[in-house]
Structure 1
Amino acid sequence: MKTKIFMIAQLLCVLTFATVLSSCEKDSRPEPKSVLKGRVVYDGQPVNVRSNGVQLEIWQRGYQLFTKIPVYVNQDGTFSASLFDGNYKLVRLPGNGPWLDNKDTIEVELRGTKELDVPVQPYFVFQNDTYSKGEGKVSATFNLKQLNTSRNLERVNLYIGKTTIVDPNNNDGNAQEVAANITDLTKPISLTVTLPAALAGRDYIYARIGVKTSGVGEMLFGAPQKVMLK
């Protein structure tokens, strides 16, 4: 019986030592110092999206499997990832952004810091957007250009809020127009939001337009605009 107890105690010591050693090895690993950063672009210009809504995937081949590294795209279309030097594959996640799916892989050889533009083709883009204030209201006027006819327009929105992070999940007021009421894309579209009590008395707010394509989860946005109220 004593022999069994002694063997169990030895085994526990070995397991504890192995766990501590493994933990020390993880803690002593160097932090990644190389940086892959860039923009999601159309026609050389960044594509604005919802904050923390759209992902890219970076893949690296390991000893046995590919390792996936998800990278969120910022609302201004930029992204950044800290990585170790190496060879990677960057993938535009299908069905994730407000653009056509593109299954092409972008090969990335990373040594230090690298900047990269990731091209996409949105279904719609904004043109000639302007913003103005009225008595207790904020308005936006813009043109909407359809780049691809494989999917239809669902709606357009105007969001307003206290900060530059303005989207369906972060706003203090919004207005929308559905596609059925937008019959001619050659004509400007106007949207107006009545200022809610939460924004009353402020010197300024931020406004941002968005377009929703039918059957596509994420919206495409304009850049947030500061609108002076006083």
Structure 2
Amino acid sequence: MMKIIRNIIGLFAIAAIAITACKKDNYEAPESMLTGRVVYQSTPIGLRSNGVQLELWQHGYDFFSKIPVYVAQDGSFSARLFDGEYLLTRQRGVGPWADNTDSIKITVKGNTVVDVPVDPYFLVKSAAYQRNNLTVTSTVNIQRVNTTKNLEFVKLYIYKTALVDELNQDAATVVPAANIQDINQQLTITATIPASLANGEAVYARVGVKTIGVPELAYSAPEKIQLK
């Protein structure tokens, strides 16, 4: 008899779980889109794709939930959300900029656009490229913005796709800060296209600038270098 009762109780429990699951499946998915850019003076910061994460926080009924938002290499980000009030925060010690722990209040109602201002240490102000056979030469202008940290190096990267950065490279040339006499003067960097890419249609070049003690770099936009 007790075994029968336990079986009945078990069936009721399974049914309750199934009903709860069905209710969850019937919840509407979020339909509003939050988009934006990480910017300095309205100009987006070039980054390593998904190397920098922002955080969205929203009050729930009984908790404070976090939504991670990864930033693309062009400084843009997006998240599909429910309408409501959110706090957006910049993680400490992650991006190539000075820490700012102030939260940004965001009201999401339909498609919402917001730019996130940052205070970068250094920027690649401009980068021009020339190819001579398998040699790529970049003429670079670096801008120092926040003076609390020093330059570590400037680097020219070559890669087979546009997703080129410190972790995705086929060739690179680094110029240490000790070899740069004046950060305000144009810098010329040359890199060699590796033989493994020489017969392809194109490669991509990009310049990154590294700050001492900061893990992520600030980058120029990737440039397509046509080979054929």
TM-score, normalized by length of structure 2? 0.96
In structure 1, the partner of 2:77 is 79
- For 1:121 and 1:150, the matched residues in 2 are separated by 11
Partner residue, 1:160: 158
- The residue matched to 1:31 in structure 2 has which SS? coil
1:90-124: CA deviation from partner (whole Å, max 9, x where unpaired): 11111111111111111111110111111111100
**What is the deviation of 1:144?**
1.2
Does structure 1 retain, via aligned residues, the 8 Å contact 2:198–2:227?
no
CA distance in 1, matches of 2:10, 2:157: 60
Q: Aligned to 1:26, what secondary structure does the other structure show?
A: helix
Q: Identify the match of residue 183 of structure 1 among 181, 184, 188.
A: 181
Q: Which residue of 1 aligns with 2:15?
A: 17
How many residues were matched structurally?
228
Q: Deviations over 1:164-213 (max 9, x none)?
A: 11112222211111111112112211221111122112232111000111
- Which runs of structure 1 show a deviation greater than 4 angstroms over 4 or more consecutive aligned residues? none
Q: Which moved more, 1:111-120 or 1:16-25?
A: 16-25
Query: Are the equivalent residues in 1 in contact too, given 2:71–2:77 (CA < 8 A)?
Result: yes
* Aligned equivalent of 2:68, options 43, 59, 70: 70
Partner secondary structure for residue 21 of structure 1? helix
Which of 196, 199, 202 aligns to 1:201? It is 199
> Residue 172 of structure 2 corresponds to which residue in structure 1?
174
What secondary structure does 1:11 align onto?
A: helix
Give, as a single letter, the amino acid of the residue that structure 1 aligns with 2:27.
Answer: R
List alignment gaps of at least 5 residues for structure 2: none
Mapped partners of 1:139, 1:182: distance in 2: 17
Q: Distance in 2 between matches of 1:35 and 1:22?
A: 28
Could you tell me how far apart the structure 1 residues matched to 2:5 and 2:173 are?
72
**C-alpha distance in 1 between matches for 2:82 and 2:125:** 40
Instruction: Tell me the CA shift for residue 11 of structure 1.
Output: 2.1
Q: Distance in 2 between matches of 1:162 and 1:135?
A: 16
Establish whether residue 147 from structure 1 lines up as the match of residue 154 from structure 2: no
Report percent identity of matched pairs. Answer: 46
Distance 2:24 2:9 in 1: 23
Greater Cα offset, 179-188 or 208-217: 179-188
Superposition TM-score, scaled by structure 1 size: 0.95
Q: Is the 8 A contact 2:70 2:77 kept in 1?
A: yes
Amino acid corresponding to residue 177 of structure 1 in structure 2 = V
Distance (whole Å) between structure 2 residues aligned to residue 94 and residue 63 of structure 1 = 28
Mapped to 2, the partners of 1:180 and 1:196 lie a distance apart of 27
Unmatched runs of 5 consecutive residues or more in structure 1: none
